[in-house]
């Protein structure tokens, strides 16, 4: 079993997720100096500056600060759906696998997983799976949800063209469009297409501050003025309203100033890692061309062990941590706290672990 709360010594190099970053000294200084007020009353000036800035970045009328990205998904689905309604999303999508069934439990909505390719489905997929509204046996489809980048699919980037086509079909059926933009700014870094260009296809969209941007806490949800007014109500209901959140918002503002351009370095490091592993690690397969942002997914099947076992060895022998993605899939995520040297060292550890396991496998077969 994976115990995510392991008490072992901290890994030497941590590629578990881009959530493991620590706030930098200058981010902490910005947080300490933040002007604050009561967020629940709308009186926290720094939070208000952050939401205005993100609304501008996303090109939305308004925006709301939230404690987490998971809450942004939940709040949005709760607004777009009545209980029993349905959300269309890729089968790898975060709300299906990593939000403890929250959408079902709290919003009462049902998730219909689509069989996309590398996390990306097509307008035709949507057309095929929208429920006929006149059929009283079936749930009502209300939302199409897109994940940019597609995390569990390996940080793949939806082409803008595909997003536009999906949005067109969604509109034709009167469906809302939701963007899980936990790593939208990675897609911006990968493509050069501004955030607002993606977001204009959506009714609700959010970015995470606590992933590649390196903040300790927070996400910002954007949408129309009416949508955000409703979102504030749902956030309050979920217990997500905050008080002097300016200390968190200050980290967000700092990250928007200093940690956006550098996401390209994380992408270069992911390619570096993937290249070294692909070239050197026997029994580990990965799609080198498919590494488009800061996530690398590797299949360790031909080393003869599960992902869990592979990761245990990698961690105990080399102090390198990655995350298990089920079965024999292993994920490595690059971020602010790992530089190219650390990535080279992590790749060497993966190569060495694979060599060791392969040698054992070949030895046992003879
Ligand atoms: C991390 C993540 C979330 C949840 O965000 P939190 O801020 O950790 O709650 C949602 N969707 C995707 C794609 C993610 O990677």
pLDDT at position 343, please?
A: 98
Atom 8, ligand 1: residue with shortest CA distance: 69
| pLDDT single digits (tens) 171-190 | 999 999 999 999 999 999 99
* Residue 356 contacts residue 303 (beta carbons within 8 Å): no
| Whether the predicted pLDDT of 53 surpasses 70 | yes
**What confidence tier does 1 reach under pLDDT thresholds 50, 70, 90?**
very low
pLDDT at position 6, please?
A: 61
**What confidence tier does 7 reach under pLDDT thresholds 50, 70, 90?**
low
Distance CA(200)–CA(314), nearest Å, equals 43
**50 CA to middle of ligand 1, Å?**
19
For the CA atoms of 133, 135, 136, 142, the dihedral, rounded to the nearest 10 degrees, stands at -30
**What confidence tier does 4 reach under pLDDT thresholds 50, 70, 90?**
low
Ligand 1 atom nearest to CA at 151: 13
**Residue 3 or 338, more confident:** 338
| 179, 209, 211: residue to mutate for ligand 1 pocket, most atoms within 8 A of CB | 211
**132 CA to middle of ligand 1, Å?**
31
**362 CA to middle of ligand 1, Å?**
40
Q: Is the CB of 208 under 6 A from ligand 1?
A: yes
pTM for this model (two decimals)? 0.96
Distance CA(28)–CA(217), nearest Å, equals 12
pLDDT at position 175, please?
A: 98
pLDDT at position 361, please?
A: 87
* Residue 121 contacts residue 115 (beta carbons within 8 Å): yes
Ligand 1 atom nearest to CA at 218: 7
| pLDDT single digits (tens) 313-334 | 999 999 999 999 999 999 999 9
Q: Is the CB of 145 under 6 A from ligand 1?
A: no
| pLDDT single digits (tens) 251-306 | 999 999 999 999 999 999 999 999 999 999 999 999 999 999 999 999 999 999 99
Q: Is the CB of 94 under 6 A from ligand 1?
A: yes
**Residue 356 or 363, more confident:** 356
Ligand 1 atom nearest to CA at 93: 13
């Amino acid at each position: 079993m994976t115990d995510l709360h392991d008490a072992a010594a901290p890994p030497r190099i941590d590629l578990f997720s881009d959530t493991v970053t620590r706030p930098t000294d200058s981010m902490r200084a910005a947080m300490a100096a933040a002007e604050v007020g009561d967020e629940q009353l709308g009186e926290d000036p720094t939070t208000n500056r952050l939401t205005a800035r993100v609304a501008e970045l996303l090109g939305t009328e308004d925006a709301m600060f939230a404690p987490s990205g998971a809450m942004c998904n939940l709040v949005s689905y709760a607004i777009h759906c009545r209980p029993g309604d349905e959300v269309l999303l890729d089968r790898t999508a975060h709300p299906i696998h990593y939000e403890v069934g929250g959408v079902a439990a709290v919003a009462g909505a049902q998730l219909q997983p689509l069989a996309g390719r590398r996390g990306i489905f097509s307008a035709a997929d949507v057309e095929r799976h929208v429920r006929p509204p006149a059929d009283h046996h079936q749930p009502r489809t209300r939302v199409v949800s897109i994940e940019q980048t597609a995390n569990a699919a390996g940080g793949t980037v939806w082409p803008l063209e595909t997003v536009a086509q999906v949005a067109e079909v969604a509109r034709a059926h009167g469906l809302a469009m939701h963007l899980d933009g936990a790593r939208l700014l990675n897609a911006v870094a990968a493509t050069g297409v501004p955030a607002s260009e993606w977001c204009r296809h959506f009714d609700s969209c959010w970015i995470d501050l606590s992933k590649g941007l390196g903040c300790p806490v927070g996400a910002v949800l954007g949408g129309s003025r009416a949508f955000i007014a409703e979102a504030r109500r749902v956030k309050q209901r979920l217990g997500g309203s905050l008080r002097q959140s300016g200390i968190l918002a200050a980290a967000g503002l700092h990250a928007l100033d200093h940690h956006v351009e550098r996401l390209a370095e994380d992408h270069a490091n992911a390619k570096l890692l993937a290249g070294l592993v692909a070239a050197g690690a026997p029994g580990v397969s990965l799609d080198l061309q498919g590494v488009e942002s800061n996530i690398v997914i590797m299949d360790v099947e031909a080393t003869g062990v599960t992902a869990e076992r592979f990761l245990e060895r990698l961690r105990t022998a080399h102090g390198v941590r990655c995350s298990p993605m089920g079965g024999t899939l292993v994920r490595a995520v690059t971020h602010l706290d790992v530089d190219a040297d650390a990535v080279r060292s992590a790749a060497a550890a993966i190569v060495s672990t694979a060599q060791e396991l392969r040698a054992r496998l070949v030895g046992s077969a003879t």
